[in-house]
Every structure is written in C-alpha cells, then in structure tokens.
Amino acid sequence: MDTDQFATLSKLRVRYRLEGKGPVILLIHGVGGSLNDWNRVAPSLIEGYTVLRCDLRGHGQSEKLPGPYELEDFVADVHDLVRHLKIDRFHLAGFSLGGLVVQGFALAHPEMVDHLILLSTVAGRTEEEKKRVLNRLDIVANGIPGQHFENSVSRWFTDEFRAANPDIIAAYAKRSRENDPKAYAAAYRVLATGDLADRLHEIKVPTLVATAENDIGSNPRMAKLMHERIAGSKLHIFPRLRHSILTEAPQDVVKVITDFLPRGQ
C-alpha cells in the first residue's frame, strides 16, 4: 500500500499513508505540518521498514476538529490509528510537536513502542523560553494565516538553504497560509504549553534524542535534559542546522535514525 488512505476512528477521520516492507516505524509530524513533511526522509526508510505516517487532528487532510486540543487527544488519536491498523508494536519517531506527542505515547503505551526517536522537540523550558513561545502562541492565535511562518522562517532554515531553495521556502509559506487558523492555534497551544520533563525518567524504551545546534525553540540544552532524564538514551546534535532538519538535511536524519535502530528489527 503506497497511497493515502483514510480511517474513521472513534473521534477522528484521519489521513494516513502506509508503505514499504519490514518492521513498522511510525512518523509524527510537527505543528502546522502534515505527513508530507516526511517526504524527503521516508523514501530512504522504506528500503528497510514499513513506514506509517498520518496527519494529526486539525492538520493536512485529517478532520479539523474544534479545539481546544490536549496532548492526550493527539496520543489517543495515534493509539486509535495503530489499533485500527492492527499494529501492536513499532518504532516511533516524532518531530517538534510530534516529538511531544510520541513522548506522551511512550508514557501511556510503553508496551507498544520498540524504539523511540525524539527529533527537534521540547521538554523543560526555562521561564524565558516559556515566555518566548507564549508570545509566538499569541501571534498564532491572533494573527493572520501564514504570519507565524513569515516571522519564523529564519529560525527554521539556515540562511544558505533559504538562499539556495526559494521554491521550497515559498511552498512552505503557501502551506502555512492554507492551515485552518483555529485548528493551527489549538495545536500550537499544545506545543507551547505541553511539557513532560518531570515524567521523562519513566520512559524505559531505547530512545534517541536529536536536535540541531542552532535550533532556538528546540535547543540542545533541552535535548541534553531529555537525554539525561531518559536512562540509556542516545544524544545527537546536528551541527550548524536550525529547526527544519527534515527538509534541510533529510539524509542526515535518515542516517541517525537507521544507525540507532537495530538491523532487521
């Protein structure tokens, strides 16, 4: 199966894509994104894994349920999807908001998670970091669609990548403008206020924590905190990059993931 499918779950109609052969790896995208955010990563993973992707509630072509959203809602949606597909155990990776969702999933359903991969995500924000993200939430909640992207593009991509890839940046801006404003704000509130730092020590599955050297919102300090609190976890910092590692350095992301996962499992 290599085309988009739709599943009507207990609380949500969700778009998903399932392709490849081998052990299942489930990929969860970031706020304002969709399963297409993994398009530059998934083709290489499909060579050795069954790759499952979905649009979170309020995103992409999944149902735009009214807010407010809670982290537990995203976790429950993912759980409903894998149960619908009769997938009992899998590797689990999340980017940004997706990284927060998969932290919650690993805490709620540890028996289903084989290996956990936390990419460019958050935990243990300082008071100053909380203030900055709440200011961004205010822009998302009260601004025009796409305004947050215009304000954030320099935080997400290196200057060199932006200069060399104007078409990619334009496509991101277009997608941002097309987001449902209320659903985007509801999801962004979860990213801005969610924090599982005090429970990370409960995660016992093999875990990889990775972020970029110059990622301001999901910075190396937070990645190191996650690494220190999740016993036996591995830490990787991508040099030079900013937040959008899935787009700017997909093969580096693939290598880090495949080096972490056991061969043939």
**Residue 1: pLDDT above 60?**
no
**Each residue of 26-76: pLDDT tens digit?**
999 999 999 999 999 999 999 899 999 999 999 999 999 999 999 999 999
- Domains located in the chain, CATH noted: 4-260 (3.40.50.1820)
Confidence band (pLDDT; 50, 70, 90) for 2?
low
Q: Which amino acid is at 227?
A: H
Q: Are 29 and 4 in contact (CB under 8 A)?
A: no
Instruction: Read off the tokens for 145.
Output: 């669609």
Average pLDDT on 190-214 reads 98
pLDDT of residue 176: 86
Q: Are 51 and 42 in contact (CB under 8 A)?
A: yes
d(CA 137, CA 153): 16
Q: Are 142 and 181 in contact (CB under 8 A)?
A: no
Q: Are 114 and 87 in contact (CB under 8 A)?
A: no
d(CA 176, CA 32): 7
Instruction: Read off the tokens for 162.
Output: 């932006």
**Residue 206: pLDDT above 80?**
yes
Average pLDDT on 191-196 reads 97
**Residue 265: pLDDT above 60?**
no
**Each residue of 151-163: pLDDT tens digit?**
788 889 999 999 9
d(CA 235, CA 123): 14
φ, ψ dihedrals at 199, nearest 5° = -115, 0
Whether the bond between 262 and the residue before it is cis, its omega within 30 degrees of 0, is: no
pLDDT of residue 220: 98
**Residue 87: pLDDT above 90?**
yes
pLDDT of residue 149: 72
SS3 122: coil
Strand order, beta sheet including 113-119? 4-8, 13-20, 50-54, 24-28, 90-95, 113-119, 207-212, 234-238
Nearest CA to 245 among 72, 107, 38?
38
Average pLDDT on 240-258 reads 98
In sequence order, what are the residues at sequence separation of 6 or more whose Cβ sits closer than 8 angstroms to the Cβ of residue 91? Answer: 23, 24, 25, 26, 49, 113, 114, 115, 116, 117, 261
Average pLDDT on 175-200 reads 95
**Each residue of 13-24: pLDDT tens digit?**
999 999 999 999
Q: What is the mean pLDDT of the chain?
A: 94
pLDDT of residue 11: 84
Higher pLDDT, 177 or 68: 68
Q: Distances in Å between the alpha carbon of 201 and those of 196, 236, 261?
A: 10, 19, 21
pLDDT of residue 146: 65
From 105-114, 173-182, 219-228, the region with the lowest mean pLDDT: 173-182
Tokens 């220190």 belong to which residue? 228
